[in-house]
A and B are shown apart, each in its own frame.
Chain A
Amino acid sequence: MYGWIQASLVIAVVVGLHVPLGDYMARALEGGRHLRPERTLYRLCGVDPDKEQNWRHYLGALLAFSAVSIAALFALFTLQDKLPWSLGRDGMPWRLALHTAVSFTTNTSWQNYAGESTTGHLAVMAGLGTQAFASGAVGICVALALVRGLVRRGTDRLGNFWVDLVRSTFRVFLPLAVVSGIVLIALGVPQHLSGSDQLAAPVGSWESVKLMSGDGGGVFNANSAHPLENPSAWSNTLEIVLMLLIPTALIRTYGRLVGSLKQSWTLLAVVGILFGLLLAAANLAQSAHTGTVSAAVGGHTEGTETRFGVPASTLFGVSATASADGAANASYDSFSSLGGGVLLAGMMLGEIAPGGTGSGLYGLLMAVLVAVFVGGLMVGRTPEYLRKRIGAGEMRYVVLYALVAPTAILVCSAIAVALPGGRSSMGNPGPHGLTELVYAYTSSTAGNGSAMAGFNGATDLHNLLMVAAMLIGRYLPMVFVLALAGRLARQRPGVVTVGTLRPHGVNFVVLATGAALVLALLNFLPVLSLGPVAEGLL
């Protein structure tokens, strides 16, 4: 009962805040003048902010930025012992450093290391902290480029990557991080830099941005279950809101940018239904005491904190996997079999409810285009969306996009199961071990970063295979989205033909929700049956 009221409250706050924030982001991110400090920054970086890029150059700048980011983090981690503020920690071995660098640059933030014993202040702040902002901003950049592709006519220009990156970072993330960081500090999250004690860490400044940018990595091994990262029910509620806020607000921003708030309400309805389905399924699984251990205990309290309880842990878990954040305030490994399966399904859904910062929006638009295409064929007209023809050429990119995640997840999981040593990382026997392994590769590919932490990812095999999954899962979809954006932008305006499927209203919400569910989850039904479903029903 309290769980439902709590969830309703969080959802009401997110929906309430998404309107002003989404409107602000539409003004801040698109058009308008460059601020004086921004001009200085562009000049120092040798960037011409008024020169727009076509999709290839936009992608080139994005990939260059990501490659340099990975290299910078790799250097920070391996050379940690020779740099100041390391708290005496050793440099990371190269495989772990590579994994961590890729993990944070791709906005995944899966941690194969324990924060308390591995990273010093400099690595946390300058390394992980920088990418907590930047990796989230890169997602927003790609979403903006796709929206411009839908809005613009007869051009090949999609905006300037550097401007989008700087504005997302300094106009959206930074002000919100400062405000919510101060609130978290006031709620008891510590913010220190003195001494050699890792508990006296700059947690407050990290916590706010880790939650709102889809990063999700913890200062401490226990992540948001740690009392210093998440001291009370108040901070817990704020953290859940932060995870959902920017991805949801971007839906509003989208409506503003395409000049049709009907579009944003339609997408919000789709997201709301999907999130509601996930939350309801997880709550039912977590409140029924069907498993042997939970029947013995009398509840799913293993791995949960007393101050949050099971309902708030379930809400946190669903929010962390329906978004791309991947933070954890409980042990997802010890969730009920089906409850853990729901978290897995949230990621397999493509993280679109509401998904990551930017990646949620472009993922959602891909599902919408499928719905438009299928719906258009059903009514026997040329599929159109926002006066753009959605033909075979456009659908090719949408389908390629939709194939990346299932292929990467299933192939990487299969390789990991088949190779010697892959299975010894499982922390639990039977179907649950398979769930853990598939969870690891789903989380990596989807850029989520949450874990069923009984799984030991810090072996050579998993470190390297997860690096591959994260790079493929993050950048290949971006290639297809930008290519599609470029193709759409070049189109001349069409006329709305009579009888074209209207992309809003109840009919379209149902169609798009169905498309999202079928497109993503059908691929995973067999593996879900072998993992969480088998465990829950046996």
Chain B
Amino acid sequence: MARTSTLPRWAAHHLAAVRVVLALTLLVGLAYPLGMTLLAQAPGLRDASSRDTLIGKAYTDSKGNPLPGYFQSRPSNAGDGYDTAASGAGNQGAESVVDTADKPSLLTQVCSRSKAVGELEHVDGSRPYCTPDGVGAVLGVFRDGGTTGRVTHVVSLNQVCPARPFVSSYERVVVGCAEPGADYSRAVVTPVRGDAPARPEVPADAVTASGSGLDPDITPAYAGLQASRVARERGIGEDTVRALIAQYTTGRALGVLGEPAVNVVELNAALDRTHPSRGA
């Protein structure tokens, strides 16, 4: 190392570092992915990725209303829904229960989706902690001692006036609707369970968004819920639809890995192939 031995040690380190970074960039930064891309052209690997059915889609009209002849995907937070340029989740937490001016709480989103799916599928869309009009059933309770003491004033936080509160009174105090723009930050946030069944008829995946916003799958339960509507819209027997659901259901790998899932994209494509919609 005649050339570097005359340099101070720190400079020699940096000179070597520049060369090593360059070499690594060429070898593992470029040659490795390019080589893997060539390998991926091998028969058997080339067509392994079925991108068209891996990425979920929304089956809605231009106004965002569900197309009734199609199985509906899960709610999505990727852009305006299933936007492949903006994958991602909603990232709202487990105690996101109070709506703000610019964003509904996760609870209200769950409640409104449950109500909408219930109406679409003609089943009971009620859920615990949800109001009949499909928002989070959350009271803001003012007490004379702050967080303790006598109740002085109660507001249904997610029901903006002139909505009718989901309960008329709380601890013998009349419940009011929420005035837009009012400051309720001093109220004790009190979610109200209500009397909805603990196992609602609308399945969990129908009311919650996925991590990617591009989830192509729904649970067999949600697919089963939609079967009679799709059969009716397409004028075919429900048995036929249920057979197709079974055909596009993937069980747990090895019997234990992951969860059973129905690929909505494949299922809808199969329906269009075999039983085109009457209207279409």
On A, residues with C-beta under 8 Å from B are 2, 5-6, 9, 41, 44-48, 57, 60-61, 63-65, 67-69, 72, 114, 116-117, 125-127, 129-130, 133-134, 162, 165-166, 169-170, 173-174, 177-178, 181-182, 185-193, 198-199, 202, 204-206, 220-222, 225-228, 231-234, 236-237, 291-309, 311-313, 328-331, 333-337, 340, 427-432, 435, 452-454, 535, 538
Report whether A228 and B55 are in contact in the complex, using a CB–CB cutoff of 8 Å. yes
- Chain A contacts for B130, CB-based, 8 A: 296
Whether B149 is near chain A, meaning CB under 8 Å from some CB there, is no
Q: Within the complex, what minimum Cβ distance (angstroms) separates B41 from chain A? A: 9
- How many Å lie between the Cα of A352 and that of B19 in the bound state? 33
Q: B residues engaging A (CB < 8 A)?
A: 1, 3-4, 9-10, 13-21, 23-25, 27-30, 32-37, 39-40, 44-45, 48-51, 54-56, 74, 78, 84-98, 100, 106-107, 110-111, 127-130, 136, 191, 193, 198-200, 204-205, 207-219, 250, 252-254, 256-259, 261
Closest Cβ of chain B: how far from A12's Cβ, in Å?
12
Determine which of B92, B211, B252 lies in contact with A225 in the assembled complex, contact meaning CB atoms within 8 Å. B211
Chain A's interface: helix, strand, loop or mixed, by majority?
Answer: helix
| Distance, CA A69 to CA B16, complexed state (A) | 12
In contact, A46 and B49 (Cβ under 8 angstroms): no
**Are A222 and B257 touching (Cβ within 8 A)?**
no
Q: How far is the CB of B31 from chain A (nearest CB, A)?
A: 10
Which of A198, A306, A428, A431 has most B Cβ within 10 Å? A306
B49 lies within 8 A of A228 (CB): yes
Most chain B Cβ neighbours within 10 Å, of A298, A308, A431? A298
A-B Cβ contacts below 8 A, count: 339
Contact A69 B21 (CB under 8 A): yes
**Residue in B closest to A339 when the chains form the complex, CB atoms:** B94
Given the interface pairs A296-B130, A430-B95, the reply to whether A182 lies near B20 with Cβ below 8 Å is: no
Residues of A within 8 A of B110 (CB): 293, 296-297, 302
Max chain A C-beta neighbours (<10 A), residue from B19, B87, B130: B87
| Alpha-carbon distance A164/B205, docked complex (angstroms) | 48
User: A302 and B30: CB pair below 8 A?
Assistant: no
Compute how far the CA of A2 lies from the CA of B50 in the bound complex, rounded to whole angstroms. Answer: 28
Q: Given the complex, which residues of A lie within 8 Å of B17, measured CB to CB?
A: 61, 64-65, 67-69
Residues of A within 8 A of B85 (CB): 116-117, 198
Identity of the chain A residue whose Cβ is nearest the Cβ of B73 in the assembled complex:
A306
Nearest-neighbor residue (CB-CB) of B114 within chain A:
A296
In the assembled complex, the Cα of A333 lies from the Cα of B261 at a distance in Å of 24
Q: A199-B51, A306-B261, A337-B93 are in contact. Are A297 and B20 (CB under 8 A)?
A: no
* Contact present for B37 and A192 (CB under 8 Å): yes
